[in-house]
Amino acid sequence: MTDATIQTLDTPDGPFTVLEDAEGRVLASGWTDQADRVLARIAERYRPGRVLDGRVASADAVDAFYAGELEHAMQVPVRQAGTELFAEGWRQLRNIPAGSVLTYREFAAAMGRPDAVRAAASVCARNAPALFVPCHRVLRSDGTLGGFAWGLDVKRSLLERESVGTTALV
């Protein structure tokens, strides 16, 4: 049985809940105060056996992000389980600098699979440690926001906070 720690932080975008394993790696996170929504982002077979309320190691990085120090969140260790394609996609998401965006097609190319646009979208959709693996930095080919598990208002806010100069943040 593995233990994990969960904490909900107050952010300008609303409550942000982080779930970390015993080694301080973020397993899942999102803009909600409902622990079950965050846990649901992890495949059942990978969920921790016991979840305890406490202080997560990544809390300082979240505070730093909202204070304008955007890259601290990219240094936080994460743990995700998936295929080689998904693992590569999640690695590539962390390489997108704050203030930059990729289209799903560009993201697929960065993953080494330029024709796998749907797979690239799936990588974003199954990304559990939101913010720390910045799937919000991937947009539709026409520059519109596309989807985001935590709502388009949060995605728009994150991109605006990162000063992304897109014209179609609608």
First and final CA of the chain: distance in angstroms? 44
124 is catalytic: no
* CA 162/CA 139 separation, integer angstroms: 14
Which one, of 32, 27, 15, lies nearest residue 51 by Cα?
27
Amino acid 146 reads: G
Q: What is the largest CA-CA distance in the chain?
A: 48
Structural contact between residues 65 and 134, judged by C-beta atoms closer than 8 angstroms: no
**Which one is catalytic: 135, 139, 149, 154?**
135
In DSSP terms, 111 is beta-bridged to none
Structural contact between residues 32 and 50, judged by C-beta atoms closer than 8 angstroms: no
Structural contact between residues 90 and 133, judged by C-beta atoms closer than 8 angstroms: yes
Catalytic residue set:
135
